[in-house]
Structure 1
Amino acid sequence: MMHDDQVNIDIDIARQLIRDQFPQYRHEDLTTVTSSGTVNAIFRVGSKITARFPLRAMNPTECADMLRSEAAAIVEIGEHCLFPTPQPIGLGEPGPHYPMPWVLQTWIEGEVATRHGLIGSSAFALDLAHLVASLRQADTRGRRFDGQGRGGHLSDHDDWMSVCFENSEGLLDVARLRNLWTRFRELPSAGSVVMSHRDLIPANLLVQGGRLVGVLDGGSFGPADPSLDLVAAWHLLDRERRATFRRVLQVEDLWWKRGVAWAFQQAMGLVWYYHRTNPAMSALGRSTISRILDDPDI
């Protein structure tokens, strides 16, 4: 169990919900998708569909509203993304053994990226740069950052970072990392928002043959700090490939520094929170922090 408020969902419960609510898929094979993801339990339905069940307890009405909002964002990102993205098929209702709504989406073929798998691939670095560029070109339609999660003011995360530092004692060099955040939080605003995936971590990117072939979890697609999607470079690339990524996107110094700050903020939460329950996510946090600390420009 990764979360204190985690809801139980297994393949038998998922199978019954699918059979009852989407009988057209009742004869499809159902398999559990092993993932380091932390938000949903995922099951593959046949060869072309996935069922996704939120893991953290929510009010059912609020959960349904969230899933509808995510579905709209997923459709929008699919209209602009250079790479395939899953698309919504249907919204499931709560059942006797699972208390919240859930969703069916299309399946995208590929292997989930890893923090070291394509670290030295220039082709992959170019793919990531082209991905970020394509998302930035989408029209914000006058929308502003919604205030949820990363993508606004760095200093808004001071309380959370204090929690992270306290819980990271014995796991990381907290004194050094506190000093780094003191510098990051004072970086000035990067200007107008752009459209952003908002969570470009390895688990949300699919690769095949050394190239990017799919983008997952686009439900948060929306306006945010132009630097936010730059976290992908720190989660996935070595120093030389980060330079390639930056050059292609023509990232100015302030944007680059803010991208480092967002990657650092995310990584600090991963190490301690998932230390015992999701080692892959905890290790991602460690590797990202190490890349930041080892970069002489930082």
Structure 2
Amino acid sequence: MGGGKLHADEIDIDVSGVRRLIAAQFPQWSDLPLERIESAGTANAMFRLGGAMTVRLPRVEGAAGDVEKEHRWLPRLAPSLPVAVPVPLVKGMPDEDYPWPWAVYRWLDGETPVVGHIADPGLLAEDLAEFVAALRRIDPEDGPASYRSERLAARDATTRAAIGELRAVVDADAATAAWEAALNAPAWPGPAVWIHADLQPGNVLIADGRLSAVIDFGCLGLGDPAVDLIAAWYLLPPEARGVFRSALERDDAAWERGRGWALSIALDELRYYRETNPVMASIARRVIHAVLTGT
């Protein structure tokens, strides 16, 4: 199945292969137009089916479990959330050419935000805070651990290794100091709560300058609420970060952990994708700069 690869263990996925899967498993949709959606996303290949549906197929085995998780949890979480989230329609099955479950979702309108080109960042900050707060309030009973459920200390070795590897392109001393400050922040004292854990540009949609949808819940689960503070550096310019923080009433310790999460994730993304995914690498560079300089 084709397309540029982002991972060494990634399988080929192209329009003809997806069309064959649809014709075999959901023949009622076999005559609808199908086109690949160009995206900086790294875990799934996405295609628009007709005008009202999205087909999403995991690129690697590690993302295959997200299909079942989203089908189970998104319908339960959606009624408590203030913006749209993906609506799973059907779950496709693996076959002799494609090895994992895949899914068809309802199409969600909107555009991915670009920091510096958001009409009213303060309003977006308020919308993001409302989403994060609503998600956190949902009963965590039986929820799975988030993909990012570990404490920051568990990321220490890989984060320091990324700083060392990227020494030529980032301020290693400043990055190390920021990382150590985050490690020294008091840990989250409460129980784990629901977090999206990947609030960055490719995973949110805006319409008329407001948050209209949050998508790709592959990292969804229970964890430290500070993880969702990464939105401050991934999605907002400096003048709107205070709005976001105030709306969530985050204390200094949580903010420092959130800053550490943003730095660690961005360093890892830049290290991994700097040669294969220019969009993701550019976002990561901007986030690292924002964390280290406050701009």
Q: Same fold (TM over 0.5)?
A: yes
Name 2:30's counterpart in structure 1: 26
Instruction: Tell me by how many angstroms 1:66 deviates.
Output: 4.5
Give the partner amino acid of 1:207: I
**What's the CA shift string for 1:42-69, capped at 9, x where partnerless?**
00111111111111146xxx93x54212
In the alignment, is residue 179 of structure 1 matched against residue 177 of structure 2?
yes
**What's the CA shift string for 1:108-166, capped at 9, x where partnerless?**
111122243328621111111111111111111265x72x5423311001122133123
Which 4+ runs in 1 deviate beyond 3 A? none
CA change 1:228–1:27 in 2 (3 A) is: same
* 1:81-100 matches, cutoff 5 A: 81-100=81-100
In the alignment, is residue 245 of structure 1 matched against residue 249 of structure 2?
no
CA change 1:207–1:255 in 2 (3 A) is: same
Name 1:126's counterpart in structure 2: 126
- Does the residue aligned with 1:293 lie in a helix, a strand or coil? helix
CA change 1:222–1:205 in 2 (3 A) is: same
CA distance in structure 2 between the aligned counterparts of 1:186 and 1:119, rounded to whole angstroms: 36
In the alignment, is residue 49 of structure 1 matched against residue 53 of structure 2?
yes
CA change 1:278–1:116 in 2 (3 A) is: farther
User: 2:159 is matched with which residue: 133, 143, 161?
Assistant: 161
8 Å contact from structure 2 (residues 147, 219) kept in 1: no
Name 2:263's counterpart in structure 1: 264
If the length of structure 2 is used for normalisation, what is the TM-score?
0.92
**What's the CA shift string for 1:183-231, capped at 9, x where partnerless?**
2222221222221111111111001111111110124332110111111
Name 2:21's counterpart in structure 1: 17
Instruction: Tell me by how many angstroms 1:249 deviates.
Output: 1.3
8 Å contact from structure 2 (residues 44, 58) kept in 1: yes
Give the partner amino acid of 1:92: G
In the alignment, is residue 200 of structure 1 matched against residue 199 of structure 2?
yes
8 Å contact from structure 2 (residues 86, 108) kept in 1: yes
- Does the residue aligned with 1:223 lie in a helix, a strand or coil? strand
CA distance in structure 1 between the aligned counterparts of 2:120 and 2:52, rounded to whole angstroms: 32
Which deviates more from structure 2 when the two are superposed, residues 81-90 or residues 155-164?
Answer: 155-164
CA distance in structure 2 between the aligned counterparts of 1:105 and 1:132, rounded to whole angstroms: 22
Instruction: Indicate the RMSD between aligned Cα atoms, in angstroms.
Output: 2.0
CA distance in structure 1 between the aligned counterparts of 2:75 and 2:152, rounded to whole angstroms: 29
CA distance in structure 2 between the aligned counterparts of 1:45 and 1:3, rounded to whole angstroms: 25
CA distance in structure 2 between the aligned counterparts of 1:87 and 1:123, rounded to whole angstroms: 25
8 Å contact from structure 1 (residues 115, 284) kept in 2: no
**Unmatched tracts of structure 2, length 5 or more:** none
CA distance in structure 1 between the aligned counterparts of 2:66 and 2:40, rounded to whole angstroms: 22
**Unmatched tracts of structure 1, length 5 or more:** none
Name 2:282's counterpart in structure 1: 283
CA distance in structure 2 between the aligned counterparts of 1:101 and 1:241, rounded to whole angstroms: 39
CA change 1:35–1:204 in 2 (3 A) is: same
CA distance in structure 1 between the aligned counterparts of 2:273 and 2:60, rounded to whole angstroms: 15
Percent of pairs with identical residues:
32
In the alignment, is residue 116 of structure 1 matched against residue 107 of structure 2?
no
CA distance in structure 2 between the aligned counterparts of 1:78 and 1:174, rounded to whole angstroms: 41
CA change 1:142–1:5 in 2 (3 A) is: closer
User: 1:170 is matched with which residue: 159, 168, 174?
Assistant: 168
CA distance in structure 2 between the aligned counterparts of 1:72 and 1:21, rounded to whole angstroms: 21
In the alignment, is residue 74 of structure 1 matched against residue 78 of structure 2?
no
8 Å contact from structure 1 (residues 155, 186) kept in 2: no
